[in-house]
Structure 1
Amino acid sequence: MSVPKYPGLLEEVEEENYETAETMDPKLYRATTEGEILEFVMAMEHVAVDTHHDTLASCVQLGPQKTTILHIATSFGHHEIVKLICKDLPFLVADKNARGDTALHIAARSGDSLLVQMLIHSDYKEGGLGEKNEKGNTALHEALRFGHEEVARILIKKNPNMPYSLNLEGKSLLYLAAEAGFVTIAKLLMENPVGNYNFGGKTENKSPVFGAILGRNIDVLNLLWERDQSSFNLRSGNGKNPLHVAVCTEYTEGVNFLLIKHHYFAYQKDKRGFFPIHSASQKGLIDIIKVILHHRPDTQELLATRGQNILHIAARSGKHKIVDFMLKMPELEKLINEKDADGNTPLHLATICGYPKLVHTLTRDERVILDLLNNNLQTALDIAAEHIETEMASFQKRLTWMALRVISAPRSRQTKSIKSLNFRVGNQKEKESWNNKINVILLVATLVATVTFTAGFTIPGGYNNTNPDQGIATMLEKVQFQEFVICNTLAMYSSIIVDVILLWAQLGDTSSTQVALKLAVPLLGIALALMSVAFMAGVYLVVSKLSWLANVVLFIGTNFVIALAVLLVPLCFIGSSNCRVFYYIYYYPFLLVLYTVGI
């Protein structure tokens, strides 16, 4: 037996579905969509004649999505055609399309109350009030989902005793009414059997109380409290009570209402171990925290998972604005240096997560103790330094380290000795990390040396070709030329020194690597800055006869050199000296970088 050359293609062909879709007579379809009643009647008679049927009822046609003429007329809002069909072909009212929708579903979704009344007053089973589509929605579900209050009222009054069940999402009619904010409809549902529902199983996730909170309607919430307070005790699938939900949806009015009616909500945890105030802190909701603390000031003492207070949670989430707000509240002062189960203060957590702006906010407060140790005997600076010493740190982590260095944060004695020992002993992964850093800097330094060396022999303006100054630069006496030569020379020699230092680091022992990098990085920064100045001087010299262009070059170059210095000063020099004077010099360039990048 031969093997097919393209077996996958053959299998695909064998699995093809050759089913033919339904089709409707084009004249009938066009007449129904356009809404011309006479053309519609003529088209129906034409179809009956062509198909050799004696009655219209026996020649019903379906569209590709199993839509009848009633579905089509309803979706286009053609009242006269719908009225005629309901009178002559009432059985079509119960027909469903491919999605399980009857014409009443379509009318309810569109909010057309006149169409809805025509359909429910037809002679066929009250217009299909209880029929469900593929999502388990009746027409009343659809009216509430799409916010059509008048349509919902019509459907309820048609049969108040209609037994409605939950849809496939587990949503009851009362939940949908609460979510839509329909107070009148909610009352109708609660006063009539039509609104009956039970809370078993997954419906706990769809409590009407949660619907009212999501719909942000205080009147519905108040109605539910008056009629059925027990429903407020239900939890969501992740253990959230109504106050948690109100906090997470940033519904301040609902938070205030719930705290007044049932303050015990504030003292209940969800499955994550969060109290509502912790959820507010995690999301950075200042107004909601104010409301909670106003009603229940002792909630500030509540601890979440791992013994973390609200300031811990805010710091862990990187919410610097709410941390700043909490620092300004005298009653929360005791939380500032509080430790969690791992011994971490809010400053430790902000450092671990790498939030430089938040770290800066905390370190500006004199009440924050910088030398507190966690359970690993680490200060915040120890953690930040560990990030940049043992891995290729992200820019965010490096800025976090800088935020601590600019205010001269201390390191622990234990960590210093441990790090020193670990560095001497070293492991292969750490050595590779240091070697990668050295190779990157070595590559850049070599590139700078090559560029500046080349620029030294291709000077602006060229050389004299005549005696007695043959071989001498034509622009030798220009100030900008002298500036170009000096800066280019210094940049080249600085980069060469960096190359030599790093070669020694590669050839020497591991303990010399840190020292080499401390020397090499600042020198490379100087070389890059001088190379930039040399470029600016050379271009300015070449175009100096066109004054406006020369000034533009000078303006652009000066601004970029300043920006380069702002970036390089914190990168190259922070941490290389313990002199207090240097921190004042580095502080403002660091702040500029920090608030420019906005992290």
Structure 2
Amino acid sequence: MDPELLMEVNNGDHKHLRRLLGGEDQVASPATAAAAAIVVNIDRHAIVSSAILQGVTPDGDSALHAVAASGDGDRYLESAKVIYGKAGHLLGARNTGGSTPLHRAARAGNSQMLSLLIELARADGTSRVETILRTQNGVGETTLHEAIRGDHASAVDVLMTADPCLARHHLVNAASPLFLAVSLCRYGMAQKLYERDNQLSYSGPGGQNALHAAVLRNKDMVELLIGWNTQLTKQRDQYGNTPLHFALSVLERHPHGMLPIYAVPVIKGKDITTLLNIEEPPLELTRQLLEADALSAYEPDKKGSFPIHIAASSNRLSAIIILVTRYPGCASLRDADGRTFLHIAVKKKRFDIVWYVCQTPMFSSILNTQDNEGNSALHLAVEAGNLWTFACLFVNKHIDLNLLNNKQHTPREVSISSIPTGLYCFLNSRILIQEALMSANATCDICRRDDDVEEEHNPKLQAANEEKGSKVVSDSTQFLSFGIVLVITMAFGATFALPGGYKADEGTPALARTKQFQGFLMANALAFLCSTVAIISLSFAGTPTVELLMRYTQYNLSIFLALNALGSLVVAFIIALYVMITPVAAITFIAVIVVIVSTTILYSATLVEKLSILLLVLCFRIGILPVLRSSISKLILFTCWPLIVIIVWQETCMATHVI
């Protein structure tokens, strides 16, 4: 496009535009000039103006496109008249995106410009107006779509006045104006469209309708759409989803807790874990949609998933309660894979739903239902490796622990096969799940028990597993050694900075004759001894030349001793506080102890949580006495031996008058 023309058009300078296109700045010819010369001058200006107006911008906009989008004042309207007078065909011209000047005016919200262009088109007849207004651009949108997208209500009024049926027209399998308004949350505009034409189109892309969009946007809009057209609840999209499927598909999240998230886990294609916890909960429209169409509760999508399966997948417990309360038969519905909503909840690790099912007697008939592969909900829980959902099922005594799937695997066998060869923390969820199944005497497959595992017949696989285990131990010892060395340093320093100080004349500890001081010395000595031996064990564990089995043993021993050393150091710290502070500020000592205990409980909860769950579910499943008779009592006693030694030493010193 000519630069001067583009400048005049964008500025709306219609006077200069007339001179540029019409030659009005030419000096008048004398009365005696030849008529032929006059004719030649007129033709020359017509040719020049036509050539200039044929120019376009890089995106294909003509001069009329540019002026239509530039403004809505009188000068722009006059400029549009000038251009139309010189090149009327530009009114229907398209740019590279397929948009006409009316599209550009509607997108910019220039309602007066729209009115002018419509009037210019009306001069050629009513059909000309409808043709231009219903013209679709490259993405199948009319001028009405552009006005809605830009949220220009006045432009919508102009367009609907000029063509009352405009909201019915759109590209097949594309968004109608109403669908676009709802999807963009332009609810007032959606009402305006319906008021103008109650026979408008509700269609959207992929076989959807406006109600599919509304259930994900606004509850009030859902009520309006159902009131306008109750058949919308029955319509399926190309995948067989009804609006109820869409409404139940919004994931219901729960706050992540009090602790802030510094490292945010990101899974491609999924929302992040929100830091602020201010996300709006999903709209609860289940009751509303079921009242409009009760049959939608029994409408599967093309994958065979019913609304209750979608609700389970999205953790929508409230929706499930509504569904099974109104229609109890929904609970036993199975998808194309033969799975009930309990299978889906377990597979997706939806703890709240699994807990609700296990605690509600009406669902007892589906607790052991097997899918097309023979897997019960317990099989899937073990396979998923989520301790919480497994615990919900495990404590329910109606759950059969010994069901065989199509591969003839019981849940315990699934647990065994789901853990690859390697070295794991004893708090690993899969380890604890297998521990629970073994403690409850869950059976394995019906086969010989002396069959060798695969790696014993495969030297290469065995070597690869040993190399992997060696690397795990070597990497772990590096980090563990830092903490142990820190404990050694603190214990060594405390030996020469005794609480209470020294007697000036004798150079001996001032509090040496108190039993608390003896306890402090023993606690500090145990901390130093345990941490020193732990470092020696770590040295063996981190040495690649040592046999792998011995490295495993030394690694476990170093962790055990490190925990004992840390516990002894904490006891020494508490005794020192007691000796130093209690005589002068007992309340302060109590406050410090409360802070220490509270912090320890809050922190250790993340560590002992899983072990506590294991013990609780075992107590529910097999009883308290079998748990007490197990090795757990010995383990607790063995872990607390430093505290026992410290207390016994204090009392022994007191009883034998050592102090």
Structure 2 counterpart of 1:489, which letter?
A
**Structure-1 residue corresponding to 2:129:** 126
Name the CA shift for 1:266/1:324 in 2 (closer, same or farther; >3 Å): same
- Write the mapping of 1:108-507 to structure 2, written as runs, cut at 5 A: 108-109=106-107, 113-123=111-121, 125-126=128-129, 128-145=132-149, 151-152=155-156, 154-159=158-163, 166-167=170-171, 170-173=174-177, 175-176=179-180, 182=190, 185=193, 191=199, 205-207=207-209, 210=212, 216-221=221-226, 223-225=228-230, 232=234, 234-236=236-238, 238-248=239-249, 253=285, 256-257=288-289, 261=293, 263=295, 265-365=296-396, 367-369=398-400, 374=405, 390-391=421-422, 398-399=428-429, 401-402=431-432, 410=440, 412-414=442-444, 422=453, 425=456, 427-439=462-474, 442-443=477-478, 446-447=481-482, 450-455=485-490, 457-459=492-494, 485-495=521-531, 497=533, 503=540
| Counterpart-to-counterpart distance in 1, 2:484 and 2:166 | 87
8 A Cα contact 2:67 2:80, kept in partner: no
Q: CA deviation at 1:309?
A: 0.8
**Structure-2 residue corresponding to 1:14:** none
In structure 2, runs of 5+ residues without a counterpart are 27-43, 251-281, 619-625, 637-659
| Counterpart-to-counterpart distance in 1, 2:6 and 2:346 | 66
Of 138-147 and 376-385, the range deviating more from structure 2: 376-385
Give deviations 1:457-515, integer Å, cap 9, x for gaps. 54465699999978x88997899986665344323433455567785999998888887
| Counterpart-to-counterpart distance in 2, 1:108 and 1:559 | 64
| Counterpart-to-counterpart distance in 1, 2:246 and 2:100 | 35
| Counterpart-to-counterpart distance in 1, 2:116 and 2:363 | 64
Structure 2 counterpart of 1:412, which letter?
A
Name the CA shift for 1:541/1:351 in 2 (closer, same or farther; >3 Å): farther
Of 333-342 and 109-118, the range deviating more from structure 2: 109-118
Q: CA deviation at 1:271?
A: 3.5
Residue 324 of structure 2 aligns to a residue whose secondary structure is helix
Of 401-410 and 305-314, the range deviating more from structure 2: 401-410
8 A Cα contact 1:462 1:473, kept in partner: no
Q: CA deviation at 1:84?
A: 2.0
Name the CA shift for 1:151/1:516 in 2 (closer, same or farther; >3 Å): same
Name the CA shift for 1:455/1:83 in 2 (closer, same or farther; >3 Å): closer
Residue 344 of structure 1 aligns to a residue whose secondary structure is coil
Structure 1 counterpart of 2:628, which letter?
R
| Counterpart-to-counterpart distance in 2, 1:541 and 1:256 | 68
| Counterpart-to-counterpart distance in 2, 1:245 and 1:303 | 19
| Counterpart-to-counterpart distance in 2, 1:189 and 1:289 | 38
Structure 2 counterpart of 1:320, which letter?
F
Of 413-422 and 100-109, the range deviating more from structure 2: 413-422
Structure 2 counterpart of 1:317, which letter?
K
Structure 2 counterpart of 1:133, which letter?
N
Name the CA shift for 1:538/1:294 in 2 (closer, same or farther; >3 Å): closer
| Counterpart-to-counterpart distance in 2, 1:223 and 1:536 | 73
In structure 1, runs of 5+ residues without a counterpart are 1-20, 33-39, 588-599
Q: CA deviation at 1:186?
A: 5.4
Name the CA shift for 1:569/1:284 in 2 (closer, same or farther; >3 Å): closer
Name the CA shift for 1:413/1:112 in 2 (closer, same or farther; >3 Å): same
Residue 371 of structure 2 aligns to a residue whose secondary structure is coil
8 A Cα contact 1:483 1:534, kept in partner: yes
TM-score by length of 2: 0.63
Q: CA deviation at 1:314?
A: 1.1
| Counterpart-to-counterpart distance in 1, 2:356 and 2:614 | 30
Name the CA shift for 1:348/1:175 in 2 (closer, same or farther; >3 Å): same
| Counterpart-to-counterpart distance in 2, 1:307 and 1:140 | 47
8 A Cα contact 1:269 1:275, kept in partner: yes
Residue 359 of structure 1 aligns to a residue whose secondary structure is helix
| Counterpart-to-counterpart distance in 2, 1:163 and 1:504 | 75
| Counterpart-to-counterpart distance in 2, 1:177 and 1:447 | 61
Structure 1 counterpart of 2:100, which letter?
T
TM-score by length of 1: 0.68
Q: CA deviation at 1:188?
A: 6.7
Structure 1 counterpart of 2:207, which letter?
N
Q: CA deviation at 1:338?
A: 2.8
8 A Cα contact 2:342 2:354, kept in partner: yes
| Counterpart-to-counterpart distance in 2, 1:516 and 1:344 | 40
**Structure-1 residue corresponding to 2:8:** 28
Name the CA shift for 1:444/1:64 in 2 (closer, same or farther; >3 Å): closer
| Counterpart-to-counterpart distance in 2, 1:498 and 1:386 | 33
Residue 308 of structure 2 aligns to a residue whose secondary structure is helix
8 A Cα contact 2:387 2:610, kept in partner: no
Q: CA deviation at 1:300?
A: 1.4
Whether 1:105 and 2:103 are equivalent positions in the alignment is yes
8 A Cα contact 1:359 1:404, kept in partner: no
* Number of positions where the alignment pairs a residue of Structure 1 with one of Structure 2: 547
Residue 299 of structure 1 aligns to a residue whose secondary structure is helix
Q: CA deviation at 1:284?
A: 1.7
Give deviations 1:135-172, integer Å, cap 9, x for gaps. 23110233455566774464345346789864487334
| Counterpart-to-counterpart distance in 2, 1:536 and 1:376 | 57
Name the CA shift for 1:455/1:405 in 2 (closer, same or farther; >3 Å): same
| Counterpart-to-counterpart distance in 1, 2:594 and 2:432 | 30
Give deviations 1:61-105, integer Å, cap 9, x for gaps. 866655566555654652323432343333454455554433422
8 A Cα contact 1:120 1:126, kept in partner: yes
Structure 2 counterpart of 1:101, which letter?
S
Whether 1:580 and 2:616 are equivalent positions in the alignment is no
Q: CA deviation at 1:355?
A: 2.9
| Counterpart-to-counterpart distance in 1, 2:167 and 2:380 | 54
Name the CA shift for 1:404/1:485 in 2 (closer, same or farther; >3 Å): farther
| Counterpart-to-counterpart distance in 2, 1:510 and 1:378 | 32
Structure 2 counterpart of 1:220, which letter?
L
**Structure-2 residue corresponding to 1:590:** none
Of 75-84 and 515-524, the range deviating more from structure 2: 515-524
Q: Which has the larger radius of gyration?
A: 2
Name the CA shift for 1:75/1:87 in 2 (closer, same or farther; >3 Å): closer
